Amino acid sequence: TQLLEQSPQFLSIQEGENLTVYCNSSSVFSSLQWYRQEPGEGPVLLVTVVTGGEVKKLKRLTFQFGDARKDSSLHITAAQPGDTGLYLCAGARNQGGKLIFGQGTELSVKP
């Protein structure tokens, strides 16, 4: 049972386009994290959202946590080839460090 549904799983776009990745769940999370992973490396944390309705910006990336803390989105503006990679959302139920990962979104940005 996938507790955190991430979509789309694959996305191929042209440089300059915008995109949004979604993570949805029927469960409430105490926090939700977004990671980016390069092939052969561990995931790297992009952001953690904790408060319902919270919006965080990281340059061209905008992260939003749903009001009910069950869903989140990642929006990339004017995507660049350097944004190519695997994006992962992960939810935490408590402070213990155990994360539930979404299926991941493989993003390819073509020049």
Partner 1 sequence: GAVVSQHPSRVICKSGTSVKIECRSLDFQATTMFWYRQFPKQSLMLMATSNEGSKATYEQGVEKDKFLINHASLTLSTLTVTSAHPEDSSFYICSTVNSVTGELFFGEGSRLTVL
The distance of closest approach from Cβ of residue 78 to partner 1 in the complex, given in angstroms and rounded to an integer, is 26
Closest to partner 1 by CB, 12 or 18: 12
Q: Which two tokens stand for residue 84?
A: 């190519």
Binding site for partner 1 (CB under 8 A): 6, 33, 35, 40-45, 86, 88, 90, 95-104, 106
Q: Count other Cβ atoms within 10 Å, centred on residue 10.
A: 10
Q: Look-up: residue for tokens 């990745």?
A: 21
Give the nearest distance from C-beta 47 to partner 1 in angstroms. 13
Closer of 18 and 96 to partner 1 (Cβ): 96
Identity of the residue, 10 or 18, whose beta carbon is nearer to partner 1 in the bound complex:
10
- What minimum distance in Å lies between the beta carbon of 111 and partner 1? 22
* Cα dihedral across residues 64, 90, 46, 78: positive or negative: negative
